């Protein structure tokens, strides 16, 4: 029960963080005209996508600050502060006046809100992944740590669920005028409950034993780069491939279904929500499999199969007219990707010793997300604007192929884990 509470508590903040993060992506199609100068719809959406990407710039900074703080002062307090920052960013977006009211200040303040959320999320991921991996038992570490991504996806599902409910209860005009703000108000309110839950968590044994030992090597960027350059590079590459794929098949997929595959916005949201529900269910299965056959094999399968299937899946979705066939293709892509998402937290945590583990997990992950994940939608929209949308599919396949090569050559962290505690 103690272990289960720690896993749930560590995951709860993750869910809220990612709900608020994905609420922007889910509702940007409705509010992009609010915060930007009048112009073409594509240009306004490109500006919204650009701010989505800008939010990722703050994530390495948040990962650095939170990683060092969690390694030096504990995982628990940093988890709580991260949720508070995300709540603040959501409140700003919820009450921010539009371009018609305050002019150029609107996109500037929106950008600042996204930067605050980027700081929060950059810190949350590394601390959450580290805490849950440390609290899980050795024999089932892959299974329990897979719930870190279960809650990450659940945050996106909740954001989509809110979108679907609002689409079915409000008129399109009301949703575009003020209804979208409800999503951000909900996110801020949920953070209060998470704060109460996390305040009762206990610190991980890995940190407690580390903090009581006479460590001379303190967590810091220079220590990370000089002591663990290979591990840092491995996490960057794996994250780059995984995050680009994740955003391609989730946030961008919703727009691809409407713009290219010609499905309605409500149908696209429904398909995306169902696919994500299936994606959630398969995470613990892959986590359990990683405990049995090794994390490296699961990672290599995910990226190898993903590289081969990216082009056929995207072009197939554009060709079909049946929502069920489109759903099957999206689920196929996500089921392959689950080989990465399910074990990524534990793999990264097992690469580092306790005194620098959180920073080692958080910083290269945040950098990979910034460079590849954060620009996924912007890259896809740009290829579309240039008249060569399939170029994005090739780009996705190439990055996954690089991830496949790295996964094949890395050590299996299950057999050589640096998390000593059970």
Q: Which domain holds residue 45?
A: 2-409
Residue 213: band (very low, low, confident or very high) from pLDDT cuts 50, 70, 90: very low
Q: Is residue 374 included in any domain, yes or no?
A: yes
Residue 406: band (very low, low, confident or very high) from pLDDT cuts 50, 70, 90: very high
Dihedral Cα 343, 349, 352, 356, nearest 10 deg: 150
Quote the pLDDT of residue 42. Answer: 63
Higher pLDDT, 118 or 11: 118
Higher pLDDT, 317 or 77: 317
Report in angstroms the alpha-carbon separations of 204 from 3, 58, 142, 253, 422: 10, 27, 17, 38, 11
Residue 214: band (very low, low, confident or very high) from pLDDT cuts 50, 70, 90: very low
Q: Is residue 198 included in any domain, yes or no?
A: yes
Percent of the chain exceeding pLDDT 90 equals: 29
Q: Is residue 417 included in any domain, yes or no?
A: no
Q: Is residue 422 included in any domain, yes or no?
A: no
Would you say residue 334 has pLDDT above 50? yes
Residue 246: band (very low, low, confident or very high) from pLDDT cuts 50, 70, 90: very high
Q: Is residue 416 included in any domain, yes or no?
A: no
Q: Is residue 240 included in any domain, yes or no?
A: yes
Q: Distance (Å, rounded) from C-alpha 29 to C-alpha 48?
A: 8
Going by the DSSP 8-state scheme, the letter that residue 414 receives in this structure is T
Report the CATH number at residue 187.
Answer: 1.20.1250.20
Is residue 84 a contact partner of residue 195, using CB atoms and an 8 Å limit?
Answer: yes
Q: Is residue 65 included in any domain, yes or no?
A: yes
Single pTM value for the model: 0.82
Q: Which of 109-113, 137-141, 194-198, 224-228 has the lowest mean pLDDT?
A: 137-141
Report in angstroms the alpha-carbon separations of 259 from 245, 251, 255, 267, 379: 19, 13, 6, 12, 15
Q: Is residue 104 included in any domain, yes or no?
A: yes
Residue 215: band (very low, low, confident or very high) from pLDDT cuts 50, 70, 90: very low
Per-residue pLDDT tens over the stretch 23-78: 887 788 788 778 877 766 666 667 777 777 777 788 889 889 988 888 888 888 88
Per-residue pLDDT tens over the stretch 369-381: 888 987 898 899 8
Mean confidence (pLDDT) of the chain: 85
Give the number of domains in the chain: 1
Mean pLDDT of 175-204: 83
């Amino acid at each position: 029960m103690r272990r289960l509470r720690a896993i749930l508590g560590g995951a709860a903040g993750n869910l809220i963080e990612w709900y608020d993060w994905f609420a922007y992506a889910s509702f940007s199609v409705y509010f992009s005209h609010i915060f930007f100068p009048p112009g073409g719809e594509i240009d306004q959406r490109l500006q919204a996508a650009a701010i989505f990407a800008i939010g990722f710039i703050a994530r390495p900074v948040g990962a650095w600050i939170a990683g060092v703080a969690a390694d030096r002062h504990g995982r628990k307090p940093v988890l709580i502060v991260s949720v508070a920052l995300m709540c603040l960013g959501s409140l700003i977006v919820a009450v921010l006046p539009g371009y018609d009211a305050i002019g150029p200040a609107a996109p500037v303040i929106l950008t600042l809100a996204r930067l605050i959320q980027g700081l929060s999320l950059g810190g949350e991921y590394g601390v959450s992944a580290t805490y849950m991996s440390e609290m899980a038992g050795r024999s089932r570490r892959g299974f329990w740590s897979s719930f870190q991504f279960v809650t990450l996806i659940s945050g996106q599902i909740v954001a989509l669920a809110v979108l679907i409910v609002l689409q079915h209860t409000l008129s399109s005009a009301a949703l575009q005028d003020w209804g979208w703000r409800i999503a951000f108000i909900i996110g801020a309110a949920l953070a209060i409950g998470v704060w109460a839950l996390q305040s009762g968590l206990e610190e991980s044994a890995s940190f407690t034993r580390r903090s009581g030992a006479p460590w001379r090597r303190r967590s810091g960027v220079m220590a990370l780069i000089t002591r663990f350059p290979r591990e840092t590079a491995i996490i960057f590459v794996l994250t780059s491939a995984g995050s680009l794929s994740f955003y391609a098949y989730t946030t961008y997929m919703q727009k691809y279904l409407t713009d290219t595959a010609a499905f309605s916005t409500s149908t696209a949201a429904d398909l995306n929500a169902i696919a994500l529900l299936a994606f959630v269910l398969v995470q613990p299965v892959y986590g359990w499999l990683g405990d049995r056959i090794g994390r490296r094999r699961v990672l290599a399968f995910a990226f190898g199969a993903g590289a081969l299937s990216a082009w056929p899946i995207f072009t197939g979705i554009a060709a079909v007219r049946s929502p069920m066939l489109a759903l099957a293709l999206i689920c196929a892509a996500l089921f392959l990707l689950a080989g990465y998402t399910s074990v990524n937290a534990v793999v990264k945590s097992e690469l580092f010793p306790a005194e620098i583990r959180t920073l080692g997990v958080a910083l290269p992950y945040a950098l990979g997300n910034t460079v590849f994940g954060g620009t996924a939608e912007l890259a896809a929209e740009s290829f579309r604007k240039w008249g060569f949308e399939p170029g994005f599919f090739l780009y996705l396949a190439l990055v996954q192929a690089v991830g496949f090569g790295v996964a094949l050559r890395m050590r299996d962290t299950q057999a050589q884990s640096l998390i000593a505690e059970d």
